[in-house]
Amino acid sequence: MFLKVHRSPEVGDVVAVCDCELLNTTLTHGDLKVSISEGFYGTTHVDEVAVTEALRTGGNINLMGERSVAVAIKMGLITRADCIMIGSVPHAQIYQL
């Protein structure tokens, strides 16, 4: 997985995680197009332990892909029903209020 933490004093940290094979691709679903870029998801390759640690502290979380979403499900942060599908790829956003 690739992980990038965007630091923002106004809204808190935004944690972005995507599955490796999705980086630098564009997903389509009907008229919707989502670009999965290095600018947002980063280029730091990490394991599940690092993702788990980042998700524990993230105020806002953006997950793209089966493995990325599975970590959040395993942690109890979301369920599969909380995800949307973009094509065949699960996507979830988590906001801590």
> 41 near 17, Cβ under 8 Å?
yes
In angstroms, the CA 62 to CA 35 distance is: 13
Where are the domains positioned within the chain?
A: 2-95
Number of C-beta neighbours around residue 46 at 10 A: 17
Residue 83 has pLDDT above 80, yes or no: yes
Correct CATH for 2-95 of 3.60.20.10, 3.30.1860.10, 3.30.499.10, 3.40.50.970: 3.30.1860.10
Within 13 Å of residue 77, how many CA atoms lie on the same side as its CB? 26
Residue 26 has pLDDT above 80, yes or no: yes
Kindly indicate the confidence band of residue 31, based on its pLDDT and cuts at 50, 70 and 90: very high
Residue 9 has pLDDT above 90, yes or no: no
Burial (Cβ within 10 Å: 0-12, 13-18, ≥19) of residue 22: buried
